[in-house]
């Protein structure tokens, strides 16, 4: 994919982290702050190469951790592992199917917080966990799943609107041209 | 199977993660503050938009309502002035009595600064927020943060223009407290029964002989030097005996509505005494 795609993904990741820290109404309402980076990683894993995945994991992870009490870098590895798994098997995934996007979004949005918590449990101080965390986990996974198709739609529109379109091979072949008239 | 380039990429990411996680606390905090500085323009824009919306709302307030608010505020100022006069007299008396008893004089903490809440922790497992005051304004780590309702938390990290505040109930914010009525001391810690509920905290390590009742006020004790003495933390909801009867533990309803925080006050460090 082009550098345009990578830059767009990173810009969206930056805005997503900003929104997650400044828009607090959902947490005030249902007690859960959604994490949209895993669903973005699903899109990147299905549409970009390894360098973009690495850039998104590094930038997204560091940006999210910088506004949080997480130790810096703790979100990088879970994000990258998610993207790597999707990138590895993307030839087997029906990228354009809504069902595939939802399932991958659900798995990624459920897996990344779990892996992050696993890392955090080995650091000090220990994160706040209770039975309510299961509710938060379920909502995060569901919201992540529902946002994943929106990323596909958004980036497809952005690519169509702002990117150069690939020139299709012409069907005209000079050797098959029918010459009329006298030679 | 994974290809060689996958292994290389994974190795690089694991290495970076390990290096970052093993950084000393101070360096890690500096890196976080430097990266979070990238968001300053966006926070500025969001703050300005909020202020503009607020001003627009004020602009359409009827004159009658403004006059009513003005009258009410004047009355509150009058009342506050009278209370201040009374408090000053009590302070003078306190200082005189302390001098007679040979006790060191207590200085009021006047150096406080207002701050605006600009962001909250995006992770669900911490209770922190970010304010728009930093080292530039004298806000340093361990400064106490509060509102008129009570204690909010303490500054954990501070950059030039912003600071991170750990709220009451976060594992990184433990506060030495006393029950105002009985002077029994304890430590405010995250709630063991509902740690993610941000209106309840635990007051632990209270003496087993302490007289506890629902509704008692819990205030900061001033021990440790981080939090000034006498700031309201909350009210006791209920209590139980723990540690096989060795000590008591009470659940405390926090006085401040943490979800609705928009502006807070930061107590700046006291200036070094001139020798």
- Contacts across the A-B interface (CB distance below 8 Å): 149
Interface contact B194-A70, CB threshold 8 A: no
Is the pLDDT at A171 greater than 80? The verdict is no
B262 touching A, CB under 8 A? no
Nearest chain A CA: its distance from B213 CA (Å): 27
**Mean pLDDT to the nearest integer, A18-33:** 88
Q: How many CA atoms lie within 13 A of B145 on its CB side?
A: 35
ipTM computed for the complex: 0.84
Interface contact B130-A21, CB threshold 8 A: yes
Nearest chain A CA: its distance from B151 CA (Å): 20
Contact B95, B104 (CB under 8 A): no
> CA–CA separation, B226 vs B172, rounded Å?
13
Which tens digits make up the pLDDT trace of A89-136? 888 888 888 999 999 999 999 999 999 999 999 888 888 888 888 999
Name the burial class of residue B26, with classes exposed (0-12), middle (13-18) and buried (19+) by CB atoms within 10 angstroms of its CB: exposed
Percentages of chain B per state (helix, strand, coil), in multiples of 5:
35, 30, 35
Interface contact B122-A67, CB threshold 8 A: yes
Residues forming a β-bridge with B165 = B129, B155
Q: pLDDT tens, position by position, for chain B (275 residues)?
A: 678 888 999 999 999 999 999 999 889 988 998 999 899 888 888 888 888 888 887 788 888 888 999 999 999 999 999 999 998 899 889 889 988 888 877 766 668 899 999 999 999 889 999 999 999 999 999 999 999 899 999 999 898 889 999 999 888 889 999 998 888 899 999 887 777 777 889 999 998 888 888 889 999 988 888 888 889 999 999 888 887 888 889 999 999 988 888 899 999 887 665 55
Contact B167, B252 (CB under 8 A): no
Q: Which residue of A72, A92, A112 is the best one to mutate when testing the B interface, meaning the one whose CB has the most B CBs within 10 A?
A: A72
A contacts of B163 (beta carbons < 8 Å): none
pTM of the model: 0.83
> CA–CA separation, A75 vs A63, rounded Å?
10
- CA nearest to A29 within chain B: B259
B contacts of A125 (beta carbons < 8 Å): 171-172
Q: Is B256 helix (H, G, I), strand (E, B) or coil?
A: coil
- CA nearest to B163 within chain A: A67
A contacts of B172 (beta carbons < 8 Å): 69, 125
> CA–CA separation, B194 vs A129, rounded Å?
9
Interface contact B120-A24, CB threshold 8 A: yes
B contacts of A17 (beta carbons < 8 Å): 39, 122
> CA–CA separation, B218 vs B232, rounded Å?
6
- Residue B218 CB neighbour total at 10 angstroms: 29
A contacts of B9 (beta carbons < 8 Å): 50, 53-54, 80, 84
Peptide bond into A125 cis (omega under 30): yes
C-alpha closest to that of A45 among A76, A91, A7: A91
Interface contact B124-A18, CB threshold 8 A: no
Q: What is the pLDDT of residue B255?
A: 92
Q: How confident is the model at residue A41 (pLDDT cuts 50, 70, 90)?
A: very high
Q: Given B6, B166, B172, which is nearest A88 (Cβ)?
A: B6
A contacts of B23 (beta carbons < 8 Å): 72
B contacts of A24 (beta carbons < 8 Å): 120, 259
> CA–CA separation, A105 vs A147, rounded Å?
8
Contact B260, B223 (CB under 8 A): no
- CA nearest to B121 within chain A: A68
Contact B151, B175 (CB under 8 A): yes
A contacts of B126 (beta carbons < 8 Å): 68-70, 127-128
Contact A114, A77 (CB under 8 A): no
Q: What is the pLDDT of residue B108?
A: 67
C-alpha closest to that of A149 among A43, A41, A6: A43
Residues forming a β-bridge with B204 = B187
Which tens digits make up the pLDDT trace of A43-92? 999 998 899 999 999 999 999 999 999 999 999 999 999 999 999 888 88
Matching residue, tokens 């020139």: A167
Handedness of CA A116, A122, A123, A129 (dihedral sign): positive
Number of H helices, E strands in chain A: 7, 0
Q: How many CA atoms lie within 13 A of A115 on its CB side?
A: 18
C-alpha closest to that of B187 among B197, B200, B202: B202
Interface contact A18-B16, CB threshold 8 A: no
B155 touching A, CB under 8 A? no
> CA–CA separation, B268 vs B136, rounded Å?
12
Chain B residues 47-106 with CB within 8 Å of chain A: none
CA distances from B120 to A135, A162, B127 (A): 20, 33, 8
């Amino acid at each position: 994919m082009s550098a345009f795609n990578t830059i767009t993904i990173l810009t969206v990741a930056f805005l997503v982290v900003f929104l997650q820290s400044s828009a607090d109404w959902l947490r005030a309402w249902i007690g859960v702050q959604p994490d949209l980076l895993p669903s973005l990683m699903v899109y990147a894993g299905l549409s970009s190469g390894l360098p973009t995945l690495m850039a998104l994991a590094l930038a997204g992870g560091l940006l999210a951790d910088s506004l949080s009490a997480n130790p810096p870098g703790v979100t990088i590895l879970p994000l990258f592992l998610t993207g790597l798994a999707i990138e590895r098997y993307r030839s087997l995934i029906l990228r354009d199917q809504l069902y595939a996007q939802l399932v991958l979004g659900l798995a990624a949005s459920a897996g990344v917080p779990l892996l992050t918590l696993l890392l955090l449990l080995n650091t000090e101080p220990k994160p706040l966990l209770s039975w309510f965390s299961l509710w938060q986990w379920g909502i995060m996974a569901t919201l992540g799943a529902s946002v994943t198709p929106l990323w596909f739609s958004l980036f497809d529109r952005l690519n169509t609107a702002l990117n150069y379109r690939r020139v299709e091979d012409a069907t005209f072949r000079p050797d098959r041209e029918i010459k009329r008239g006298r030679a | 199977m994974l290809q060689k380039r996958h292994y290389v990429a994974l190795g690089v990411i694991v290495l970076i993660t390990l290096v970052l996680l093993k950084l000393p606390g101070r360096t890690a905090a500096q890196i976080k503050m430097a990266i979070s500085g990238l968001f300053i323009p966006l926070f500025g824009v969001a703050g300005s938009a909020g202020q503009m919306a607020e001003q627009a709302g004020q602009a359409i307030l009827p004159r009658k309502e403004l006059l009513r608010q003005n009258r009410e505020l004047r009355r509150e100022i009058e009342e506050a002035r009278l209370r201040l006069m009374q408090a000053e007299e009590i302070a003078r008396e306190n200082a005189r009595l302390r001098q007679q008893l040979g006790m060191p004089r207590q200085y009021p903490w006047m150096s406080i600064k207002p701050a605006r809440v600009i962001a909250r922790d995006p992770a669900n497992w911490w209770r922190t927020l970010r304010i728009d005051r930093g080292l530039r304004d004298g806000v340093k780590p361990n400064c106490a943060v509060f509102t008129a309702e009570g204690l909010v938390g303490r500054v954990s990290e501070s950059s030039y223009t912003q600071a991170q505040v750990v709220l009451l109930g976060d594992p990184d914010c433990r506060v030495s407290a006393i029950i105002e009525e009985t002077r029994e001391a304890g430590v405010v810690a995250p709630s063991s029964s509902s740690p993610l509920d941000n209106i309840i905290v635990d007051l632990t390590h209270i003496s087993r002989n302490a007289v506890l009742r629902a509704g008692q006020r819990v205030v900061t004790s001033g021990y440790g030097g981080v939090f000034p003495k006498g700031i309201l933390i909350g009210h006791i909801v209920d209590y139980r005996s723990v540690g096989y009867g060795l000590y008591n533990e009470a659940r405390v309803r926090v006085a401040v509505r943490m979800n609705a925080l928009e502006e807070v006050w930061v107590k700046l460090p006291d200036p070094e005494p001139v020798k």
